[in-house]
Structure 1
């Protein structure tokens, strides 16, 4: 067959699609919308490389840390920057204090000039937040005058909260995040080795998110299949052969696919603008970040029409189009199972060689991972039509609505399966990923040793030599139930150049009871714990023998090469020193010697350093943490606060999980929209049949229930198959990562329930059009 013949037949199909009157345009429009939704998500995926690159580019351009122990000398092109990040409720705020040291000091990206002292330049989102009525406490914490906004080049997203404030008198100290720099940009550092398990997760996430999109596009190009086949029979009647009719049908699908590209581009541009002005799960971007990769966008533009033609030709191989009708209404040959098992078996065969690799036995083969996961998911689309046909073929007796639904499914089980394929693939992928994430979560989550029931917040000062009243200032803060502020110092047996140096903790009896079990306590007492942490031998016998009553020790010993010398303070251990048991949940586990303030000489006060303040909050005060942060900002603007948590999650793992949630949200939206379009197309195909049944006296309730059963049966089978494939894939992925296989049934049931919920919402949305189509007026025809 010559290319000219192919082009002529395809062109004829395109002509029929766009000149087929109202019915033709409705059919093409439905196809275009279905394809367009998939194309929009594909274009969004092609923009992801640019999103990651753009965010990394901004992060690198404003990087203002240094890991060097030596700061560059003060010069005309240097500046001081202090990290003043904070949190407002659940949102992080990036903050910096800036002090240029010369006229040639570089500006941060997005700024036109340095803010003066008492002034700040803020991101547009932070400016809007500060102007809101709910941000009164935040305005107290950032008492600077807003003189400008940060440009797009200095922000990773449109909703990022950030500010630069002017400062003077910043000093480089070992306790504060203050750095002297001459340029912005990341320092030269060895790149981290990629975690193979995280890379595996990334690959599976992308395959899982994109496969349902491809399935939906393949289903969308087959909208209006039954009416199309009747038109093809008319073409046979006027003289076209079977091959020509298939090419003409492919041309009709091509028209819908090309129009779908246009519609999808429109959806993408609309979504690009929307995403650039909104925030999804704490992630925001600029519209300019969502520029698709030209090569990938061109691939989508070519692949979608080609796939539409191939899918149509493949679908028509099982349909005999004759001049007097389509041999589809006759009894069809039962679908064969053997070849439908080949894709999932081949997928398992591709993944099998990588079982047991984990992190120690080499990286995973990316091509085998992608191919294996893809074949397993695609296998669902091959198995589901067979499963639907096999099950509905054995169904029979029941209520009238049941019989109508079963008979309809028996006549068009393939159409019913196509509607469910996408949701089944998405649920299977989600179950597998949920098992993988749940199984490996412990590998990326570590215990912090913190008890958030005892302490909810901790603050550390940039100048540890704080006054002794800081605990009272925090205790008087609204929302604080208790504040514990221990102090620390060092001691040795000699005043100069000691071989061994130990630490001691100073605090009131209330403070010391948070560290050890004290039988009794009064100011002037000294205790030493019987055990110690951070040592291989937990026994503290050596230090107990060292801290003997009457022994002379030296607080704050000095060294010959130190700049400050002669500050050591002699101290005689009192006779009342007692050995006590350290608490297992001690707030501080480094020091074993515990001293009340009256037991130390007055000269030792300058040698004491704050070990932070530990806070218990009142849960009945909604903004207790905000009041604490305001108090901290007033006492020490460079101080840091931390919320206690029992566990800490790896940042890359958490980012990947967030990306999965964001991607899943878009895929679920696509699933819902595409299912709704598909459902409306099916109802439109049966409009005259429904109207005829109503005209003959069939109750609307019966017809509505029959439509519900027609949806529920394939969905139930699809979710059952998806659960089976998803659990199998999840188990294989866990084996690949050397993780014990454990079924997380709540997560599996949750993913299945989400899929069923999307279908239920789509079914409810299709009820109003269904009721309109059941009117007798639907029998009218042109």
Structure 2
């Protein structure tokens, strides 16, 4: 009981010193609070991310037509939906065309009613873009009247670009018309697919690599003002306090700073939460209301941060003997011990190495997943080992330096006396860079599994425009696109499906119609003139159609009995059709069936034709691709324009990369801000010393260079250690996933250079403060 009473008394005295120690005391407490607060804010944001992601997924699922409730026939509660996604100035715009087939048709979330023909509902961000000067070209394309603004329940984020447009020409002509779906509800059927073991490993690594630097900066922040604090403790010893008492008082001061940091952190989080809705990164945004920290995790942060502040302070004072007449540490320090510092990285490797080569199969963690806790602990120990090794390495390095310019000698002597303090700001940067290098190596190693080739050839066509069957603009659209500024070539192809007389498996044969130039996009033709026809082997069975074989082209399913489209059309493969070899078209598709020039095309089947136009543009013409998209949509709102790309990322992998970008941006801001706060605190602590050196005639440029060297040496050594650790950790992770070790030196150099550039920027920002503290009036004291 007496021990608890003594702890409470001494901690309370430390808290009073922190707030009642004059300007010196509360300034130090404020610096500590700001440093801790920034870290706490980022920790709270990280605890809120799961709820934000869950809310995004729920909103996405609530409006999706993938696996939604489908209907075979029109009804009073059915809705026709066709995707109408757009791209404008490299911005992706999600959209859909809608047509209600009955009075009870489902309404998309966020809307009060389904837009009528010529109307559209837009998201607030899209409305803002359309109203801006930047959106002039998009206004020309989406020229429907805005009838409604989509509400928050229908959006994944406040910055999302989304529209719904009504179209009375939309119809479902048959099961082959996959572009249009008929639904009677937006509720998705089935569960969302989970992450595979490798993606789970990426998620775990991302969280550990991003949050660990935050913890390092928090522990560094609670040690701000350590030298002045030790002098005050010596004064307390002089008036009768024992060694244990002064340590508890020091812990109380750190506790006060951490409590201020918690309050400021909550404030920073609240401000950042409100500002989150106005920021969009890579077209991703979140609603402030979705950023709700988990109560349990938030409580854990509130308990761990003050406890860590006390523990770190007591640990820091373990080798400091505070005596009534001074601090023993101000004499020649005893060399740091090496053995225990190696235990951390060796322990981390000991946890990770046993999982090498297992690839997350069923033998790991019993369910086809890596053991996430073992990975987290191993990575954390390995990265924390940097913070233990860096002070020892810095001490060994600077002990060998002597001589040189005055600025160099001042910096080296300062590092020799306080190497541990100088290494603390570098620890966070080193941990962040090491984690980034390991993550980059892991992403590069598994990229081939999640970034697949599309088979498309953008060199042959930049865009592919498609039209569903039954459109009157089938013949007019290619001409309008070809007349668009910047179009080099517009190659149209049309196709219809016909049933064979004795089909083996019920499949239909495809009849592709086009000019000789167009047909050469899908087959190897030695010679071709109008009136020629060709047969292609089926890419699966290899059996081509026979000349003279009859095909029956079915009518549209939704045509009326009296319509000209209600009668089936019979057509025979031309007798002179020559066998040819098919080739992939620009979209990567290999066709089968028969190829015919326009003079031999079936008659009276225009409504059943599927049209496709391959478009190549002149890259030197500004906004050529956007102009083609606008021309296509103006020619027919039901047209779909696809931008051809060589590769496509899988959704889960892409989402993790986006999350990493968000997290890395936040951690980068924290690192820069914390480094700046740390630099300003060190300058404030050394104000009188720098002023005295200037008063004795030392050049300001010499002192500025000495401060630069004091920052550059620990950071440079930390970056070298980070590169080695990051490469080692990345190698282990690559072996865990069964990939061969491959080092991308350019990425390693980029990550290391980013850390160095950040430190350089912080140093430049601190120069005004450095010049102020070097004025002679800095010698004035109270």
TM-score, with length taken from structure 1 = 0.93
1:450 paired with 2:460, answer: no
Q: Distance in 2 between matches of 1:656 and 1:457?
A: 28
Unpaired runs of 5+ in structure 2? Answer: 363-367, 560-565
Offset of residue 733 of structure 1: 0.5
- Contact 1:458–1:643 (CA under 8 A) maintained in structure 2: yes
- What residue is the counterpart of 2:618 in the other structure? 618
Q: Distance in 1 between matches of 2:21 and 2:677?
A: 20
Q: How big is each residue's C-alpha offset from its partner over 1:675-727, in whole Å with a ceiling of 9 and x where there is no partner? A: 01101111111111111111111111111111111111101110010001100
Distance 1:29 1:586, change over 3 A: closer
- What residue is the counterpart of 1:349 in the other structure? 350
Q: How big is each residue's C-alpha offset from its partner over 1:338-368, in whole Å with a ceiling of 9 and x where there is no partner? A: 1101011111111122111215443100110
Q: How big is each residue's C-alpha offset from its partner over 1:248-273, in whole Å with a ceiling of 9 and x where there is no partner? A: 00000111111111111121111112
Offset of residue 73 of structure 1: 5.5
- Contact 1:492–1:553 (CA under 8 A) maintained in structure 2: no
Q: Distance in 2 between matches of 1:156 and 1:179?
A: 22
Offset of residue 516 of structure 1: 3.5
- What residue is the counterpart of 1:731 in the other structure? 731
- What residue is the counterpart of 1:694 in the other structure? 694
1:671 paired with 2:676, answer: no
Q: Distance in 2 between matches of 1:607 and 1:122?
A: 32
- Contact 2:535–2:578 (CA under 8 A) maintained in structure 1: yes
- Contact 1:489–1:607 (CA under 8 A) maintained in structure 2: no
Q: Distance in 2 between matches of 1:685 and 1:493?
A: 89
Equivalent in 420, 424, 445 of residue 418 of structure 1: 424
Name the SS for the 2:318 alignment partner. helix
Q: Distance in 2 between matches of 1:573 and 1:68?
A: 47
- What residue is the counterpart of 1:480 in the other structure? 487
Offset of residue 586 of structure 1: 6.5
Equivalent in 567, 571, 582 of residue 569 of structure 2: 567
- Contact 1:65–1:179 (CA under 8 A) maintained in structure 2: no
Deviation larger for 313-322 or 64-73: 64-73
- Contact 2:431–2:722 (CA under 8 A) maintained in structure 1: yes
- Contact 1:17–1:28 (CA under 8 A) maintained in structure 2: yes
- What residue is the counterpart of 1:153 in the other structure? 153
1:373 paired with 2:379, answer: yes
1:535 paired with 2:540, answer: yes
- What residue is the counterpart of 1:555 in the other structure? 551
- Contact 1:397–1:403 (CA under 8 A) maintained in structure 2: yes
1:525 paired with 2:532, answer: yes
Offset of residue 396 of structure 1: 1.1
Q: What are the equivalent positions in structure 2 for 1:235-634 lying under 5 Å apart? A: 235-361=236-362, 362-463=368-469, 467-490=474-497, 494=501, 502-528=509-535, 534-535=539-540, 543=544, 547=546, 551-556=547-552, 566-574=568-576, 577-578=577-578, 580=580, 582-583=582-583, 588-591=589-592, 593-600=594-601, 603=603, 606=606, 609-634=609-634
- What residue is the counterpart of 1:683 in the other structure? 683
Name the SS for the 2:147 alignment partner. strand
Q: Distance in 2 between matches of 1:566 and 1:617?
A: 39
Offset of residue 673 of structure 1: 0.4
- What residue is the counterpart of 2:227 in the other structure? 226
- What residue is the counterpart of 2:172 in the other structure? 172
Q: Distance in 1 between matches of 2:157 and 2:172?
A: 31
1:182 paired with 2:178, answer: no
1:35 paired with 2:36, answer: yes
Deviation larger for 319-328 or 462-471: 462-471
- Contact 1:556–1:607 (CA under 8 A) maintained in structure 2: no
- Contact 2:119–2:144 (CA under 8 A) maintained in structure 1: yes
- Contact 1:533–1:589 (CA under 8 A) maintained in structure 2: no
Q: What are the equivalent positions in structure 2 for 1:58-137 lying under 5 Å apart? A: 58-66=59-67, 70-71=71-72, 74-75=75-76, 77-137=77-137
Distance 1:438 1:340, change over 3 A: same
- What residue is the counterpart of 1:742 in the other structure? 742
Q: Distance in 2 between matches of 1:562 and 1:287?
A: 46
Offset of residue 102 of structure 1: 4.7
Q: Distance in 2 between matches of 1:528 and 1:79?
A: 40
Unpaired runs of 5+ in structure 1? Answer: none
Deviation larger for 89-98 or 44-53: 89-98
Name the SS for the 1:389 alignment partner. helix
Aligned residues, how many? 765
Name the SS for the 1:30 alignment partner. helix
Q: Distance in 2 between matches of 1:120 and 1:607?
A: 27
Deviation larger for 147-156 or 319-328: 147-156
Offset of residue 499 of structure 1: 7.7
Offset of residue 449 of structure 1: 1.6
Offset of residue 589 of structure 1: 1.7
Q: What are the equivalent positions in structure 2 for 1:616-655 lying under 5 Å apart? A: 616-655=616-655
Distance 1:392 1:424, change over 3 A: same
Distance 1:528 1:96, change over 3 A: closer
Offset of residue 423 of structure 1: 0.3
Name the SS for the 1:659 alignment partner. helix
CA RMSD of aligned residues (A): 2.5
- Contact 2:467–2:474 (CA under 8 A) maintained in structure 1: no
TM-score, with length taken from structure 2 = 0.93
Distance 1:607 1:181, change over 3 A: closer
Distance 1:557 1:291, change over 3 A: closer
- Contact 1:456–1:617 (CA under 8 A) maintained in structure 2: yes
